[in-house]
Structure formats: C-alpha cells, structure tokens
Amino acid sequence: MLDNIKILEKSNDHLIFILDNIDLYIANSIRRAIIAEIPTLAIEDVIFYENSSSIHDEFIALRLGLIPLIAKIDEFNFRDKCECNGKGCKSCTAYFKLEAEGPKTVYSHDLKVIEDDRVIVPKNIPIIKLGRKQRLVLEAEAILGRGKDHAKWQAGIAAYKYYPEIRINYERCTLCKNCIEECPRKVLKLEDDKIVLKDVIRCNLCKACEEACPEEALNLNGNEKKLIFKIEVINKSYKPEELFIKACEILKEKAQELKKKLY
Ligand SMILES: [Zn+2]
C-alpha cells in the first residue's frame, strides 16, 4: 500500500512530504484524523471572582480557551473516562489562576498553572486590556478534547495535493520559454536545454504553462497515486511527524474496534 515517503521540507511546526503509491481514501482518512481526532488540552471551565473590565465573562472565557496549551497529553485522562466520574481531578484536569489589575494588558503568561509540570502556557498572547483600577480575578480548568468537539482542541492542519508531473514533446518544443514566463508561481526552469519542473511544492496545477505553449508540446498533470502531503502544527504539544503517526494509530484503533464488533 505505502511504498515510499520522501521528506521535502521539515521544521518544528510544519512538514511536507511525498506519499507515493497511496490510495486517496487512506490519505484522506489520515488528513481527517489529524484535524479532528488527535487530543489536546484546552481551557473549558472558568470561574470568575472579579471582572470589572469592559468585556463580558463569556468573551474572556472564549479567549482563554483558544490559548494553545502545551502539555504532556499522555499523562491526562479524558474527563468522561476518568475515575473521578466527570467531576474533575488531577488525572483529567489542569488548574490555573489569574489575577490582574489595570492599567495593563493581560497576556497568556499571566495565567499561572497551579503546581503542574505537565503543562506550559505559551507566552505573549494578548487576552484583554485593563483600564485603570479594572480588575480580573479568575480560576480556570483545562481538559482534553478533540478538534471534532471544538476548534480550540484542534492539534494541527493537514492537506494534500496530487504530485505535479510535466511531460514535454521535444520534437515539437521550440524552447520559446513561454511556459516559464506564463507560470504565475515561477516553478518551471530551463536546464540543459530542457524545461523542468523545479518546485513541485509551489506548483498548484493551474496549467497556465500548458495554455502558454504555442506548439501544444507541454502536458502537466497531477499523479493521483502520488501525493504531496502537508502538516502544520497548531498546538505545540506535538511535532508535525507525531501528528501523522498519531493519526495512523487512531485509525488503526478504530479499525480494530470495528473488527471486534464484527467478529
Ligand atoms: Zn478526573
């Protein structure tokens, strides 16, 4: 099924690679699992003790929920499957407190984790601006969730496209370079008297090169069995390659569950 993976680009927050000889429905299942199924930690409940700011409690709670908390996900239980029966305990919940008085801008790092080395709050995300003597005092609880429950739990973004392949009939090609000039993304180059597709990542298969060729010597097509797969991390609890592996594990678990029910 899966013969070949070749990495094209890799950093801490994104990964682009070629998936060769793969069926589309499998690639799409992995893509969907990355977006919707991988658990992360996000703030779900907020108790306000004081809020004399200009913004309602609900808006502040929503903004707190969107902070992408970095956590050791494996060390948390889902609250609904926890031994506390959904009441909330240390095994399924991270606790935070925030106390601030204006004039000041309240940032994500003003939210303090209460004795928990499993969680890091990312810095410098503005939450609210407090005027003089305006006060904000609250406690918050973060729990595990999945992207399919709410976007605040989405771990990453994944997308793919067909691998672009260029074919040139050199009996017809006059090397007029029209195709190179007309390409809006400038992905074609002339190399040793040959037109070559140099940047497969940026080619979006628009076929402007094909249309620009007066001799109809150029043919650009996407290979449906060879995909360029891109993963971007939203929540830094994971590296991009971990998202891919985790998504495959989740799909495997789902398949095993189905098998158990069938036999
Ligand atoms: Zn619990």
Q: Assess if residue 202 is contained within a domain.
A: yes
> Which pLDDT score, from 0 to 100, does residue 5 have?
87
In this structure, what token pair is assigned to residue 203? 């080619």
pLDDT band at 102 (very low <50, low <70, confident <90, very high): confident
| Pair 53, 30 in one domain | no
| Pair 9, 28 in one domain | yes
Q: What is the count of structural domains for the chain?
A: 2
Distance 76 CA to ligand 1 centre (A): 9
> Which pLDDT score, from 0 to 100, does residue 4 have?
78
From 105, 134, 153, give the residue that closes a domain: 153
Distance 143 CA to ligand 1 centre (A): 9
Q: Using alpha carbons, select from 210, 150, 156 the residue that is nearest to residue 178.
A: 210
Distance 156 CA to ligand 1 centre (A): 26
pLDDT band at 146 (very low <50, low <70, confident <90, very high): very high
| Pair 170, 126 in one domain | no
CATH number, domain with residue 53: 2.170.120.12
CATH number, domain with residue 182: 3.30.1360.10
Q: Assess if residue 242 is contained within a domain.
A: no
- CA 21, CA 90: separation in Å to the nearest integer? 45
Distance 106 CA to ligand 1 centre (A): 29
Q: Assess if residue 108 is contained within a domain.
A: yes
220's CB contacts (< 8 A; 6+ apart) are 164, 165, 166, 167, 197, 203, 205, 207, 209, 210
Q: What is the mean pLDDT of residues 174-201?
A: 91
- CA 117, CA 96: separation in Å to the nearest integer? 12
> Which pLDDT score, from 0 to 100, does residue 28 have?
96
| Pair 141, 187 in one domain | no
For 83-115, give one letter per residue: b (16+ CB within 10 A) or e: eeeeebeeebbbbbebebebeeebbbebbebee
From 111, 137, 153, give the residue that closes a domain: 153
From 99, 126, 153, give the residue that closes a domain: 153
Residue 220 reports pLDDT greater than 90: yes
| Pair 141, 181 in one domain | no
Domain that holds residue 120: 40-153
Q: What is the mean pLDDT of residues 243-249?
A: 95
Residue 207 reports pLDDT greater than 90: yes
| Pair 46, 133 in one domain | yes
Q: Assess if residue 257 is contained within a domain.
A: no
> Which pLDDT score, from 0 to 100, does residue 65 have?
97
pLDDT band at 3 (very low <50, low <70, confident <90, very high): low
Distance 215 CA to ligand 1 centre (A): 69
Residue 2 reports pLDDT greater than 70: no
Neighbours of ion ligand 1 (CB under 5 A): 82, 84, 89, 91-92
**Main-chain dihedrals φ then ψ at residue 64, nearest 5 degrees:** -65, -40
| Pair 77, 128 in one domain | yes
| Pair 141, 161 in one domain | no
Distance 145 CA to ligand 1 centre (A): 14
Distance 154 CA to ligand 1 centre (A): 22
Specify the pairing of strand 126-130 against strand 104-107: antiparallel
Distance 225 CA to ligand 1 centre (A): 45
Q: Assess if residue 120 is contained within a domain.
A: yes
Distance 95 CA to ligand 1 centre (A): 12
| Pair 209, 149 in one domain | no
| Pair 215, 200 in one domain | yes
Q: What is the mean pLDDT of residues 188-208?
A: 91
Residue 88 reports pLDDT greater than 80: yes
DSSP state of 81: G
pLDDT band at 180 (very low <50, low <70, confident <90, very high): very high
Q: What is the mean pLDDT of residues 203-230?
A: 93
Q: What is the mean pLDDT of residues 160-178?
A: 92
Q: What is the mean pLDDT of residues 247-257?
A: 95
